[in-house]
Structure 1
Amino acid sequence: MTDNFLKARLIELFSAIQGEGLNVGTRQIFIRFAICDLRCHYCDSAHTWQTPPTCKIEQTPGKRDFVNYPNPVALPSLLDWVEKQNQPGLHDNISLTGGEPLLHASFLVEFLPQVRNLTGLPIYLETGGHRPEELAMVLPYLDSVGMDIKLPSVSDENHWSAHQKFLNLCHDANLETFVKLIISSETNPQELELAGELVAACNPEISIFLQPVTPIANQSSILAPPPDFVLEWQGLMKRFVKQVRVIPQTHKTIGQL
């Protein structure tokens, strides 16, 4: 293992309430990795697409008392920062987010078993769901996965084949898995049907979360769908799977940014 594999490029590490998907409302240690290979139109984290010279590390859980450290970050340093966050009984799991965490798969193979042993916390991966080869590398160290299916009409990304492979890997590994679909005023219902068919072909017990896009300042073309569309689309998706939930980015409404 070379030294490069023992370092990661981070945006930040902090403690907060999860605002999206299956784990909404739970307290998590968030490790936000830098770099993303996607360019979704609605992305509210474009600052994660590249590596900043420094990353922000919270010193006290939830206090936002950040200290800047240079990138890239050595594995022992990240373990130390997570351990300081891990106050007894406070957190439900560790969330790997980004950017795209799986771009750091070689680092995660080394990091995840150590952080699990150190904290005893489950590992939750938030991902674009488009890198099945990298997922296969870290599957043994994950407990749950929240994967996006990128609708081309909303994101301008197209990864149907990779999404199918990705979801099947999660299912075959018996991981707790859910699928998130960002919906907007531009959503094509035919793409929703394709997504429903993709999930149902794997397992209709997998939950789908429809997440209305959060409008971005100075981007008037990014609009949430009308309420009647959301109801219609939820009904459409329930033709394919049993659980379809509509949940916006709740962390933004309570200031957990």
Structure 2
Amino acid sequence: MTPQTSDKQIARLIEIFSAIQGEGLNIGTRQIFIRFALCDLRCNYCDSAHTWEIPATCKIEKTPGERDFETYSNPVSIETLLEWVERQNQPGLHDSISLTGGEPLLHARFLKAFLPQVRALTNLPIYLETGGHRPEQLKMILPYLDSVGMDIKLPSVSGEEHWQAHREFLKCCYDSEVEVFAKLIISNNTEQAELEKAAELIASFSPSIPVYLQPVTPLEIPNVDETVLLPPLPEKVLNWQALMKRYLKQVRVVPQTHKMIGQL
């Protein structure tokens, strides 16, 4: 069964763990990460290609932050997932729950049933990390979200192109008044015209929507001497930030900080 047609009471997971958020608006905060399996995109820079398929098992952290994982079978019921999240939720430790992947919106039916229950159980805000290209699935769970971090895929970097879907997705967020920000991965291959197009798209809804330019983390392929993508030169990043700030009020350049501090 595909995620879109699967039983709404079960989900396919990769892992659950407690860590410091290293990207976007929630950077530096402590979150419970629920990482879902499956992604319908194949971005060139993806450092989570292991999430593209459904594994037979998932890993669940036993003690928050200790990386003492236990292994369980997929798929997982709502009741079981709630038990695992409750085990992570030590009083006062976490700022929010992060739904990540893969692409969490491939599990929208499950999330529609799960999110009201996990909010009631933990009283924690719910944050969605997404490719920003599935507006119809987003609509199903928007009432249960507190914030959304959406990617805008630059074709020159990701190999993916979803401009119209990104526009519809951002409109859903803007109309619902959920907190939203956009993240753009940039590399030495980035085309400036795409950055300007992204800035115009975001500004057409509100110039106050925060934007994060994230230099790609060099990704190595086993048995290949060269990296797939390299980060851009600093002078290019400065120029690109200045370009986008002609349209937008908040354009921040932030690398993947969780990798710098070993929170992989």
Same fold, judged at TM 0.5 (above): yes
Match of 1:214?
217
**Hey, what does 2:261 align to over in structure 1?**
254
Distance 1:241 1:204 in 2: 4
Equivalent of 2:58, from 55, 58, 68?
Answer: 55
Question: Which residue of structure 2 lines up, in the alignment, with residue 243 of structure 1?
Answer: 250
Q: Does 1:174 align with 2:181?
A: no
The question of 1:114 aligning with 2:117 is answered: yes
Task: Give the structure 2 partner of residue 76 of structure 1.
Answer: 79
Structure 1 residue 220 displacement after superposition: 1.9
Say which SS state the counterpart of residue 114 (structure 2) adopts: helix
Please give the per-residue CA displacement for 1:152-171, whole angstroms capped at 9, x wherever unaligned: 00001000000001001101
| Alpha-carbon distance in 2 for matches of 1:12, 1:3 | 19
Alignment of 1:77-116 (within 5 A): 77-116=80-119
Q: Is the counterpart of residue 152 in structure 1 residue 155 in structure 2?
A: yes
- TM-superposed CA distance for 1:3, in Å, is 7.9
Alpha-carbon deviations, 1:2-44, whole Å to 9, x = none? Answer: 9821000000000000000000000000000000000000000
Distance 2:39 2:66 in 1: 27
CA RMSD of aligned residues (A): 1.0
Secondary structure of the corresponding residue to residue 70 of structure 2? strand
Provide the C-alpha distance between the structure 2 equivalents of 1:180 and 1:44, rounded to a whole number of angstroms: 15
Aligned partner letter, 1:223? L
Identity %: 70
CA distance in 2, matches of 1:3, 1:21: 31
Q: CA–CA distance in 2 between the matches of 1:169 and 1:116?
A: 22
Change in 2 beyond 3 A, CA 1:193/1:83: same
Counterpart for residue 235 of structure 2: 228
Q: CA deviation at 1:217?
A: 1.7
Question: 1:105, 1:120 → 2: CA distance?
Answer: 21
TM score, norm. by length of structure 2: 0.96
Mapped to 1, the partners of 2:68 and 2:79 lie a distance apart of 21
2:25 equivalent in structure 1:
22
CA distance in 2, matches of 1:239, 1:3: 45
Cα deviation, residue 126, structure 1: 0.2
Partners of 1:3 and 1:207 lie apart in 2 by 35
Query: Any unmatched runs of 5+ in structure 2?
Result: none
Instruction: Give the secondary structure class of the aligned counterpart of 1:167.
Output: helix
Of 122, 128, 138, the residue aligned with 1:135 is 138
Note if 1:183 corresponds to 2:186: yes
AA at the equivalent of 2:91: P
- What amino acid does structure 1 have at the position aligned with 2:67? R
Q: Provide the aligned length of Structure 1 versus Structure 2.
A: 256
CA contact (8 A) 2:45 2:228 kept: no
In 1, Cα distance between equivalents of 2:169 and 2:220:
33
Partner Cα separation in structure 2 for residue 235 and residue 139 of structure 1: 32
Q: Verify: 1:65 aligned to 2:68, yes or no.
A: yes
Letter in structure 2 aligned against 1:224: P
Pairing 1:5–2:5 present: no
Residues 50-91 of structure 1: CA deviation (Å, up to 9, x unaligned): 011100000110010100000011110000000010000000
4+ aligned runs moved over 6 Å, structure 1: none
Which position in structure 1 is the counterpart of 2:45?
42
